């Protein structure tokens, strides 16, 4: 559960857009995620037009709570830095981030960007990552032994921008 302050006359749709990651790795709104989160919010008993005040939002499978939404490249750099800190502490996310870091952000971490930012990052990272959805799904779904460490490691570059992250083997 996550507790948030509801805005005056906020609709369930705007509450979901503000609090859940309904933006996909390409920066566009995913109607399936929106509908899944709306069903969960409505199922939690929130009134359609809620009074301001604190509400508890339920977790929704495959729709993480929104952690950060980048609207410009400076925001994107901060989001990449924040996501990298989270990825470094999770071996499964580490492996997935070497395939599609934008998908890790939107599907696992709740960190997303606009369409323009997603396109810019894909262009910058072309050749570094495959962005292969089938490979991502295979790695995500394979069993992972607890405590096992991935041989892959991120080494942040001296510069703090998203284009400076390096890879070590």
Model pLDDT for residues 32-83, shown as the tens digit of each residue: 999 999 999 988 876 555 567 788 899 999 999 999 999 999 999 999 899 9
Tell me the DSSP string of 31-50.
Answer: HHHHHHHHHHHHHTT--SSB
pLDDT (0 to 100) of residue 156? 57
Residue 162: band (very low, low, confident or very high) from pLDDT cuts 50, 70, 90: very low
Residue predicted with more confidence, 47 or 142: 142
Q: Which two tokens stand for residue 44?
A: 């939690």
- CA dihedral sign, ordered 143, 146, 151, 155: positive
CA distance 65 to 60: 8
**101 pLDDT higher than 80:** yes
Residue with tokens 């800190």: 85
Comparing C-alpha atoms, which of 114, 85, 69 is closest to residue 122? Answer: 114
**Among the residues of the chain, which ranges form H helices?**
12-19, 31-43, 73-88, 91-97, 101-103, 115-125, 133-141
- Torsion of Cα atoms, 67 then 70 then 76 then 77, to 10°: -60
The pLDDT tens digits for 117-135 are 999 999 999 888 999 999 9
**164 pLDDT higher than 80:** no
Judge contact between 60 and 2, C-beta under 8 A: no
Q: Which two tokens stand for residue 104?
A: 């890790």
**29 pLDDT higher than 60:** yes
**169 pLDDT higher than 70:** no
């Amino acid at each position: 559960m996550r507790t948030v302050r509801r805005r005056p006359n906020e609709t369930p749709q705007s509450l979901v857009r503000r609090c859940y990651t309904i933006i996909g790795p390409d920066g566009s709104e995913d109607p399936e995620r929106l509908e899944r989160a709306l069903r969960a919010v409505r199922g939690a008993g929130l009134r359609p037009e809620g009074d301001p005040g604190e509400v508890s939002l339920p977790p929704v499978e495959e729709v993480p709570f929104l952690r950060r939404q980048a609207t410009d490249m400076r925001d994107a750099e901060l989001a990449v830095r924040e996501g990298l800190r989270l990825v470094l502490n999770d071996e499964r996310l580490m492996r997935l981030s070497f395939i599609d870091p934008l998908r890790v952000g939107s599907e696992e971490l709740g960190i997303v960007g606009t369409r323009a930012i997603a396109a810019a990052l894909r262009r910058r990272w072309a050749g570094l990552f495959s962005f292969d959805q089938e490979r991502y799904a295979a790695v995500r779904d394979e069993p992972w032994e607890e405590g096992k460490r991935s041989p892959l490691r991120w080494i942040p570059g001296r510069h703090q921008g998203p284009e400076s992250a390096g890879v070590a083997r």
